[in-house]
Amino acid sequence: MSTRRRTLLKVIVLGDSGVGKTSLMNQYVHKKFSQQYKATIGADFVTKELPIDDRLVTLQIWDTAGQERFQSLGVAFYRGADCCALVYDVNVMRSFDTLDNWHEEFLKQGVRPFTLGNVPFYMDCTNGLANLSDPRTFPFILLGNKIDIDGGNSRVVSEKKAKDWCASKGNIPYFETSAKEDYNVDPAFLSIAKIALDNE
Ligand code: GTP
Ligand code: MG
């Protein structure tokens, strides 16, 4: 009997308040959706186990607060991440426009540079072990959520615009999702797990 190697992967989910970060996680982990909005305060994680190739991956998914007044508690948890999932709402332009800030802030807080001589290195500490991680290649993924609303008629960010943004950041993978209708949620998180595993 073969036993799978266990691997813990840490994923941080970031994006504006109300875009559906908590809902995506609840749909993925608990197969549940609620119409009611309850702001996330600080950060919390859920886990899900999934087999990938010869590994048994435990995906530790960190849900963070989009609301500014609750954010400061969240940044402490960025460090040691193996992947960062950015989420926006395809119906809200502002949530797309702020992606640059989330991207930048994550790199600043989660991937700290240090130098050897005068050569910059980028370190990311997982379980006390340091791996080198370069912000130019750190794995992000982008999710455009709430594509169910109004049958897609109220969307203000086109798929092309989103994909252009992804291309400009070094070919970030892109998924369009609906936490409400459980559309593309499993494929998006599977992709997140694979990307994080590759980065391990
Ligand atoms: P913060 O915790 O404040 O950062 O917000 P959040 O990003 O976690 O958003 P949350 O998941 O709480 O969702 C906000 C609201 O949008 C809730 O009322 C959800 O029911 C709703 N919502 C989330 N995802 C979807 C979706 O895919 N489609 C629709 N129609 N509504 C959604
Ligand atoms: Mg939330």
Sign for the pseudo-dihedral over CA of 66, 96, 122, 81: positive
Provide the H-helix boundaries in the chain: 21-30, 68-71, 93-97, 99-110, 159-168, 185-199
Q: Is 43 in the pocket of ligand 1 (CB under 6 A)?
A: no
Residue nearest to ligand 1 atom 23, measured at CA: 20
Residues sharing a CB contact under 8 Å with residue 35, sequence separation 6 or more, in sequence order: none
User: Which of 43-47, 58-62, 67-71 is predicted least confidently?
Assistant: 67-71
Note the pLDDT of residue 70: 74
Note the pLDDT of residue 73: 64
Q: Is 148 in the pocket of ligand 1 (CB under 6 A)?
A: yes
User: Which of 18-32, 39-53, 123-137 is predicted least confidently?
Assistant: 123-137
Residues sharing a CB contact under 8 Å with residue 15, sequence separation 6 or more, in sequence order: 21, 66, 86, 87, 88, 95, 98, 99, 102
Q: pLDDT tens for residues 64-89?
A: 999 887 776 666 788 889 999 999 99
CA 96 / ligand 1 centre spacing (Å)? 15
CA 81 / ligand 1 centre spacing (Å)? 23
Give pTM, 2 decimals.
0.90
Q: Is 144 in the pocket of ligand 1 (CB under 6 A)?
A: no
Tell me the best of 22, 69, 150 to mutate to test the pocket of ligand 1, counting ligand atoms within 8 Å of each CB and taking the most: 22
Ligand 1 atom nearest residue 149's Cα: 30
Q: Is the pLDDT of residue 120 over 60?
A: no
Q: pLDDT tens for residues 93-114?
A: 999 999 999 999 888 877 755 5
